[in-house]
Amino acid sequence: MPKFEYDFVGQKTLTDAGYAEACQAADDYSVSLINGNKLIGSATLVSIGKVHGLLTADHVWQTLRKGDDKDLFCIVLGSQLQRFEYPFQQCMPFIVGEYSPEHAEEGPDLTFIRLDDPLKLGTIKSRKLFYPLDSENLKVFSQIPFGRCPWVVWGAPGEQSRRSSTDAGEPILRLRHFAGAGDFIEKVERNEFDYVKIKITSGTHDFPGSYGGVSGGGVWIPIRFSEDPEGRTLKPSLHLLLAGVAYLQIEEEANFKTLALHGPKSIYQAVINSVLGQQTG
């Protein structure tokens, strides 16, 4: 396994250009989810072997499924005016950690939605990338100083959406896809899941005042590989490690929010085991 350059990214010396690159890279794997004309939440496009799907919070999936449209939902792939519809009959949810309001903050709250329509999947692949979930990434995570790394949050803040209509009166929901970095607070394990809390700016410097709509979105750590075994020379490209799935905003202080996430163990063990276990079971 190649070494990582800690000083460049891990100790918060990421340049503005590197930060922008990380945000754009996160966008390549990310989508928002709509039912009818209502924003429900965010998700990450991931693959487990030959299986492709959406990784999101379970409460996002539950809300999506109970929306006004009982037959289909929409996946927002980019900033263009679009309506990319996906039928519920052509997807299969794997409830990794079932959401309940009785344990909303403590979790779990995690679901993988397998996408089974080959034509729709082909369209998504032509526009976006699927992040490969590999259990080896847990080893990568253990080798980086994640407590000192920027945690890049991706999602679609509801407060930054706008409603309008076409000349013919058709409703339009305009979403803004946001990416911004937060700081690590803590990581704990409970049963087969791990949970992370990060602190992120809110309401200033183009950060949303509320992170409603970001639930289900991926949270990423940017890393750079070295070109030589001693880690002395950096490769030019920046890589992202999917490190979390946001599921709850916690109100704690002015101009900052705490976000609760499912962490890497939840992603690279619980999700993979759930999907592969049900695939073969």
Query: From residue 184, how far is each of 27, 85, 191, 233, 246 by CA, in Å?
Result: 21, 36, 21, 27, 13
Q: Are 226 and 5 in contact (CB under 8 A)?
A: yes
Could you tell me which of 67, 183, 75 has the C-alpha nearest to residue 120? 75
Q: For 23-57, what is each residue's pLDDT tens digit? A: 889 999 999 999 988 999 999 999 999 999 999 99
Q: Are 266 and 108 in contact (CB under 8 A)?
A: yes
CA triplet 248, 246, 129: central angle to 5 degrees? Answer: 155
Mean pLDDT of 59-84: 88
Neighbours of 14 (CB within 10 A): 21
> What's the confidence (pLDDT) of residue 200?
95
Statement: residue 261 has pLDDT above 50 = yes
Q: Are 122 and 179 in contact (CB under 8 A)?
A: no
Confidence of residue 2 (pLDDT cuts 50, 70, 90): very low
The residue ranges of every structural domain in the chain are: 6-280
State the chain's mean pLDDT as an integer.
87
Mean pLDDT of 64-87: 87
Q: For 101-129, what is each residue's pLDDT tens digit? A: 999 999 999 999 999 999 999 999 999 99
> What's the confidence (pLDDT) of residue 37?
84
Q: Are 185 and 199 in contact (CB under 8 A)?
A: yes
Query: H/E element holding 64?
Result: helix 58-65
pTM of this prediction? 0.90
Report the half-sphere exposure of 277 (CA within 13 A, side-chain side).
Answer: 10
Task: Please tell me which residue, 2 or 131, carries the higher pLDDT value.
Answer: 131
> What's the confidence (pLDDT) of residue 277?
86
User: Phi and psi (nearest 5°) for 24?
Assistant: -65, -40
* Least confident stretch, 43-57, 167-181, 197-211, 258-272: 167-181
